[in-house]
Amino acid sequence: MRSNRIPMTIQVAICSANRSIVLAGDTKVRTSELSISDREPVSTAVNRSKMAFSERHAIAVAMAGDGPVGTDAAAELTSYLSTLERIPDFLGPLLKKWGDDYFRKHRPGDESGQGYPLCSMLVVNPSTSYCRLWKLRVNRESTEEGSERYMVNGHANNSAVFWLEYMKADKKPPLEESLGIAIATIGLASEINNYGVGGLELHEYREGAWHHWPNEEIERAERSLTVVQGQIKKAVIGLGNRHVTPNPA
């Protein structure tokens, strides 16, 4: 997908109560092709998953950013992790090395690696006892950071991430609350940046396995969010109404 630096993709992972985890993201992908008539890029939006899951280690990987044309970095990283006999508790060094190797493989002539990362990966390792969430920025010198609370990948400065702070997603809320927070964050991020963000995929890790929301449940959640958005807007506007008390006769 070619974003021309317009923010594309937003993904959220939340560590919830009882060691459950919520992973949500949008599904909009934009591709650009040159028009034969005017040589201007023609942007086409499609919807597909940007995540991959390892059955062997229960690791989930979500990708944001352009990435090399014709590749799926999330699937490649998941495949690599699946070949390992053991996944270290602290994933940082392993992810950084993979990112460095991936960049050199797809950008062999780029010695600077300056500017935007090639792509950004959100990695969820639910089986470890420490630092279950990781973000990997793939570059010549890749960088990584970990968290045990929540993490945003992609359009991380979208105003919709307000819900993560307002609803205290860092306090490991119950699974149902975390799902609601994630749905609201992705849905409202789409309203704020509807060019680069759209659609929803939702996954929850509980009782030692990943569970993937089917399309009909996602569509129901999106319809409910539309209703809630209208209610919130009306309530906020209503705060400005002055209630005039009549003067006594």
DSSP string, 21-77: EEEEE--EEEEEEE-TTT--EEEEEEE---EEE-TTT--EEEEES--STT--HHHHH
Residue 170 identity: D
Question: What are the boundaries of each domain within the chain?
Answer: 10-238
Lowest mean pLDDT among 111-125, 146-160, 229-243: 111-125
**pTM for the model:** 0.90
Rounded average pLDDT over 67-87? 91
Return the CATH number of the domain spanning residue range 10-238.
3.60.20.10
**pLDDT of amino acid 32:** 56
pLDDT greater than 90 at residue 249: no
Angle between helices 73-82 and 92-106 (to 10 degrees): 130
Label residue 109 by pLDDT band (50, 70, 90). confident
Tokens coding 152: 């945003």
Range with the poorest average pLDDT among 7-16, 104-113, 162-171: 104-113
The one-letter amino acid code at 14 reads I
* Average pLDDT in the chain: 90
Q: What is the pLDDT of residue 212?
A: 98
- pLDDT tens-digit profile of 12-70? 999 999 999 999 999 999 775 444 455 555 568 889 999 999 989 999 999 998 777 77
| Model pLDDT, residue 8 | 87
Strands (E), 150-241: 150-154, 201-206, 209-212
State the average pLDDT over residues 130-141.
95
Residue 73 tokens read as: 């970095």
pLDDT tens digits for 189-218?
999 999 999 999 999 999 999 999 999 999
Residue 5 amino acid letter: R
pLDDT, residue 95, reads: 98
For residues 169 and 183, the answer to whether their CB atoms sit within 8 Å is: no
